[in-house]
Amino acid sequence: MELLLLALFCLHILKTEAVVGHWCYRSQKCEQPQCEDPLRWHLINKECKGDKQSPVNIVTRNVVHDKRLKPLTFEGYDVKGSAKWKVENNGHTVKVTLDASPKVAGGGLGRKYKAIEFHLHWGVPVEPQSIPGSEHSIDGEKYPMELHIVHIRDDVPDVTEAKKTTDGIAVLAFFVKADNENKNYATLLSELENIKYKGQESKVDPLPLSSLLPPEEDLGRYYRYEGSLTSPDCYEGVTWTIFEKPVELSLSQLSQFTVLHFDGNNSTRMMENFRPVQPLNERKVLWSGASIALPTAKLLLLPLALTCTLSSLSP
């Protein structure tokens, strides 16, 4: 009996040692008690305890309206590339690697950035225990999911080089809310069955990246702040743009993410893969405000113009 207990203990040690020094989400702790959850990520990468960490809670009464934050310029977002997208389960999320490089500029970014991949974060997307899983929050309120499109500086070849600069990465973030079915996501969601487990990947026909987002005319209102990546190595040098207008997916579409697992067969299902909000510290969150003249303002000017016109016609 003692030999059996010793053998079981050794097997347990071997299993736990395999995950020591690995970061994980809180939802993985039951299966991997030795992995480092978000509160201890700094033990793996000390930058995870920096002063400019992400995500943050955006308190709308404290944001600073910045008139320089004009609508962004999207280049190649409406183009369907020729090469297939790689969709993979990397053990933390669903990651889609882009072959073509749509670009974004303007909107106070200061330089042009090229898109290299997008991924998502979510909570528990099924009833009755539904838990919102967006990383950022607005006045403490979270959405079911959050989409991140990761861009690097246009003048560097890869993420490694981008991280050697103080403004190497720009992320466009979109909240995802439960609403109407979004047929533009059908191809991507249908592939989730083929990447259930860590390390699995698939290829899908590319789409114009803009087809996965709200209409461009709705993207003039956004928040901006300087932060970090939301997973280790927690690199600080990320310009965040968080759009007010969310992406819409139906409850049925959101529930399709429940087929995913953090690891292999019988491992924990991939849920609650988000980092808790981090202290804002001395940073300011900027807000673009209304990007165009408000219709009411135009209407107020109309009576005045008519009055002047009629006056000039009077004898």
Residues catalogued as catalytic? 92
The residues near 281 (Cβ < 8 Å, ≥ 6 apart) are 51, 52
Structure tokens at 241: 């743009």
Distances (CA, A) of 228 to 52, 203, 225: 6, 29, 10
Query: Tell me, what amino acid is at 166?
Result: T
Structural contact between residues 176 and 246, judged by C-beta atoms closer than 8 angstroms: yes
Query: Tell me, what amino acid is at 65?
Result: H
